[in-house]
Amino acid sequence: MCGIAGFISLDGRRDPAWLDALGRTMTDAMAHRGEAACAPYVSACGTVMLCATRLAVRDRTEAGDQPMTDPTGRITLVHNGEVYGSRSPAPPLWERRTTCDTEFVLQQICRQDDPGNALRPLDGMFALAWHDTTTGRVVLARDHFGVKPLFYTVTEGALLFASEQGVLLRTGLVSPEVDPEEFLLRSWIRMDAADDHTWLRGIRSLQPAEYLLLDRPHTSTHRYWKPAAVDDPIQPEEIRAAFDRAVHQRSVSDVPRAAVLSGGVDSTAIAAALTRTGVPLDGYVLRYQDGIGGSGDDVSYATEVAARLGIPLTVCDLDRDSAAALVPVLPTRLMRPLLHGAELAMHHLYRTIADDKNTVVYSGHGADELWGYQDGRYFPVVDPYAPTYIHGRHYLTHCLHADERPVWARLISWMAHELDVDMTTVTDRVWERTLDEYRALKTASPLKRGRHHLMRRFLVYVNDMVDATSATFTLEDRPVFQDVALTELAFRCPEHLKDTNQPGTHKGLLKAALADLLPDSVRARRKQGFPSPADPGYTRRLTELADGLGTPFGLPAPPAALRAELGVGEWMFLASASAWTDHLNELTTHPRSHGEPLRPPMAPAGPAPRGRP
């Protein structure tokens, strides 16, 4: 886990001292993402500033610090994430000065004029930005699955980018404004990263497997990878070989490691595979206290797995008071309201893992989206086993989300009325955005199209949540199943082979591939979602919290009939939305940290100082 940020002028030179001060402000704002930071890179032409904070996981010497420049001085790179290798190996362009992955990525970039050709073969999770002083081009890039985030906005004649939206806001160059229609859209669909929009007006998110090319005066985005949708039966042995390779690649670390161990198929297989290779691990599982709900049997399954593997297991207890106390805090990290409750569990897990001095965490995020989903249910497009006639606009816009959570739908519809937003406009945009990725895969199969939408939308929502909560505690989460080779197998495989939709067959093909890593009890365990609290006493606590914070946007209190229907999810949403909008209001009145004018006088620009500040 690292953090990157930068400023690219679109209209001429800027004062180098101002750019340096801006870079230090952005570095300070993301200090929680790493242990060290060098001075920002300021280009000789005075138009580009790149900065980074580094969490050193491999090669912890200063030789791996960023920004990093190739030996010729042509390309300077900042890099967030972890790249394990390339599927198109080539001899190194120069003798390596480090064993860290940043220098490896720099060599791949220097080898290729086409950014897509450099990015496509990379194995790993990453957000990158580099400046080519020969061509003047700047490239921003995000990994194949969107494991690592990258946000950007155009402001004051420049493109500003960072690993977190909060870093953009800390510069004072960006106003934290909320578009009510966008707010309602994202609230309506809940766990779906709708597209490159965010919850804040004017801030965009670079999409998975895309790069943004700034070749002044032109700016363009390009997708460099997508899986091929073919039906070609695969054998468990092929899956196992790809899984073993993915685990091996992610096993390298110079810092202590931990694993989230829920006692499910995915986390169990990862922990078992790592321990077989001799990787020392600590296991962690969440347990809600005070009877506030969740997957209550996770602890018993995780305990069995940990005993079988011979690894220590820490049970992370989250009580009612601690969970409620997080509700107004987490939105300031996520830059959105709470939508599910999994955010609470993940934040608490990561805090405990970090307190025990671990740095790398292994998780199973992505296995459901690629190999199965909640006993065959398909979110958010349609149940793949339902009649094909419901694969249509009316079902998606008026039935799916409303039928899934009717009280939630009534709450959002009431808010739309109060904010004078037409819900038909909102649901029409749901249809348009969903179909962009649903149809992007070249196949006639609605199942493979739905799988692609899950990967490009829901999985990105999960990844953003994981990054925000883990980065709070300077951790690097490595999701083994979000591996390109594994994913290409998943899209090659006919969907009916993954899950027969019979009881106990969830992810049957994956279970067959990983059979020797799984106890019989785990293989037979019914799929459960990530735990979220649901106790009536906790609901009362959230009701009191929401009443104390008031309604978001200064709306009136919900009508009595609607209020009586609201449950834990709705009250958590209202309380967190109020806390979040209050936080944005505070940011609006906060002075710029670097204390410089937005448009400094143009001045001769020289190279930025190198080395550690």
State which fold the 3-223 domain adopts: Glutamine Phosphoribosylpyrophosphate, subunit 1, domain 1 (3.60.20)
Angstrom distance (rounded) from CA 265 to CA 322 = 29
Q: What angle do CA 263, 268, 270 make, to 5 degrees?
A: 150
Give the C-alpha separation, 379 to 383, whole Å.
Answer: 7
Whole-number Cα distances in Å, 11 to 139, 159, 286, 288, 328: 17, 10, 51, 54, 40
Strand partners, 127: 80, 142
The number of angstroms, rounded, from the C-alpha of 25 to the middle of its chain's C-alpha atoms is: 24
- To the nearest whole percent, how much of the chain has pLDDT over 70? 89
pLDDT of residue 601: 41
Tokens linked to 273: 């595979």
Tell me the average confidence (pLDDT) per consecutive run of 10 residues in the chain, 613 residues long.
93 95 95 89 97 88 88 96 88 88 94 95 97 96 97 95 96 93 92 86 97 92 93 92 96 93 94 96 89 72 96 93 93 94 92 95 92 54 50 68 88 96 90 80 80 89 95 96 96 82 71 95 80 76 94 95 94 96 83 45 37 32
What is the rounded distance in angstroms from the CA atom of residue 120 to the CA atom of residue 116? 6
**What residue segments make up the domains of the chain, in order of their start?**
3-223, 236-524
* Structure-block tokens of residue 491: 């899209």
Class of domain 236-524: alpha beta
Number of other CB atoms surrounding residue 609 within 10 Å: 14
* pLDDT tens column, 568-604: 999 999 999 999 999 998 887 654 544 444 444 444 3
Q: Please tell me the total number of residues recorded for the chain in this structure.
A: 613
Predicted pLDDT of residue 280 = 94
Q: What is the pLDDT of residues 399-438, one digit of tens each?
A: 777 887 899 999 999 999 999 999 999 988 888 887 788 7
